[in-house]
Amino acid sequence: MTYGTRISGLGDYRPSTIISNEDMAKLVETSDEWIRTRVGIANRRKAGADETVVTMATAAGAKAIADAGIDPTEIDLVLVATCSLLATMPHAAPRVAVALGIPSPGAVDINAACAGFCYALSFAADAVRGGTARNVLVIGAEKLTDITNWEDRNTCILFGDGAGAALVSRSADGSEGIGPVVMGSAGELSEFITMNDKLQMVMEGQSVYRWATGVLPTVVREILDRTGIDAANLDALVLHQANLRIIDSVARSLHLPESVAIGRDIVESGNTSAASIPLALTTLRETGEVTSGDRMLLLGFGGGLSYAGQVITCP
C-alpha cells in the first residue's frame, strides 16, 4: 500500500531580538551599505539564552501542528534538521516531541547543514508514501549565533537564528503534494565551509558563491524535469537564504516569469541555515505572495557541500 503526500501545515518561530546592520557595524568594521549590496540582509534575529534549538523547534512545530489541525498523537515521526546543536547528544527531536505531547514517535536529527530541511522533507515524504508513518513533523531549527565568530566580519554579518516547520501527511485522494527530490553533494569542496577548534563557522565565501551560482540553475532545471513541469508553471521559488545575490542570479538565469514569487526572507532574517526555507515559506504565505495550492520549488544548499530540493504544493 502506498499513499499520496501533502504538506498539511506550516509554522515558524522568530526570536524577538532584532540585530540591524547598524548594530553589526558597532561590532566589526562594516556598513549597512556593504551588507545590503553584497548580501541583501537588513536585519537578522538573535536568540536569547532561554531560546535554544529545542525550544525554537518546539514553538515552530506547535504552530505547524495547529495549522494542520492534526492531533499530535497521530504523528509517528519527528525529524529535526539542524547543524548548530552544540551538544549533539541528546539529539533535539525526542525532546521536541515530548514537549509537543507527541507520544513516543520515531525521532531523529538530520545534519546536512543548509540543505537539511529539504533532505528531511524528502525522507518524511518517503516515510508517509511507504506507510511507515501517518504524519511526520519536519523542523529546521538553528541557533547559528552560538557558532558564529563575532570577530570575523566575513561571516558574522550573515547569520541569524530561528526555526520553521512543516507537517507532512497523507493526501486524501492519493495526489502528490511533495514532488520527487533531487539531491547531491560535492565532498571534494567540503573545506569551503567548516568549523574551527572553537566550533565557529569558517567560510570561503567567494568559492561557495561560485559553486552555488554555477550549479544551482542546473539543479533547479533537473527538479522541474523530474516533477514534469516548466518554470512557467511555478508559483514560487524558495532557495536557501544564503545571499540575495545568489537568489537573484539563479532566478535570472532561469528566465522566470514575473508572476513567480521569490523567497527573500533573508532581508529580515539573515542566513538561518536549515531554518531558512521554512521561514521563507511562512513569510510568503503571510504576505499573501503564495496561497493554498501554489506550486513552490524549494532548494537547500550549503555546507558539505550538499544540496536537495523538490516542488511542493502550498497548504
Ligand X SMILES: CC(C)(COP(=O)(O)OP(=O)(O)OC[C@H]1O[C@@H](n2cnc3c(N)ncnc32)[C@H](O)[C@@H]1OP(=O)(O)O)[C@@H](O)C(=O)NCCC(=O)NCCS
- Catalytic site positions: 114, 240, 271
What is the nearest approach in angstroms of ligand X to the Cβ of residue 300? 9
What is the nearest approach in angstroms of ligand X to the Cβ of residue 124? 22
Strand partners, 307: 184, 301
Site stretch for other proteins (CB under 8 A), options 16-24, 94-102, 201-209, 224-232: 201-209
CA angle, 80 then 57 then 194, to 5°: 60
Site stretch for ligand X (CB under 6 A), options 96-104, 153-161, 175-183, 291-299: 153-161
Q: Which residue has the cell 504523528?
A: 75
Nearer residue to ligand X within complex by CB, 37 or 73: 37
* Out of 56, 157, 165, 250, the residue judged to bind ligand X by CB under 6 A: 157
Give the list of residues 6+ apart from residue 193 with CB closer than 8 angstroms, or none: 113, 201, 202, 203, 204, 208, 302, 303, 304, 305
- By CB atoms closer than 10 A (0-12, 13-18, 19+), residue 10 is buried
When asked if residue 210 is in the footprint of other proteins (CB under 8 A), the reply is yes
* Out of 123, 192, 209, 307, the residue judged to bind other proteins by CB under 8 A: 209
Q: Which residue has the cell 522541474?
A: 224
Q: Which does 249 bind (CB under 5 to 8 A by kind): other proteins, ligand X, none?
A: other proteins
Nearer residue to other proteins within complex by CB, 73 or 218: 218
* Ranges within 239-268 binding other proteins (CB under 8 A): 243, 245, 249, 252
CA distance 198 to 314: 40
